[in-house]
Structure 1
């Protein structure tokens, strides 16, 4: 039996972003992409599941709410 390391895809809305470095944690990848997409600066990342031979993570921007 062979062990296959699955690739990771980071999904932001309808955009699939590649994994910049397989050694980074999902939170570190979120921080990396926050430099390119400022809406992710206070966002969160969640594992969605597997699609084929890839593990998909959803990156979601922070929700801002009005006071009152």
Structure 2
């Protein structure tokens, strides 16, 4: 029996838009900071634990709400 190794591609999702992984060696929180330059609403945002969809690992970015303090 052969064993297949599936490599998951990371994608980052924000506001219904899939964003490519700028650098697979970056931590998800660093990718959030990277995209916050393009999407200022992500400043103070958070990364949701990933889910798998097909051959992709999807990290969702959520913007901070006014009530968030940390």
Q: For this structure pair, what is the TM-score category when the shorter chain's length is used for normalisation? A: 0.7 to 0.9
Give the TM-score normalised by the residue count of structure 1: 0.87
1:50 to 38, 52, 62: 52
For structure 2, the residue ranges without an aligned partner over 5 or more in a row are none
Residue 10 (str. 1) matches residue 12 (str. 2): yes
The match for 2:66 is 64
Structure 1 stretches of 5 or more lacking a match?
A: none
Partner residue, 1:31:
33
Q: Alignment RMSD, CA only?
A: 1.1
Aligned length: 65
Aligned to 1:40: 42
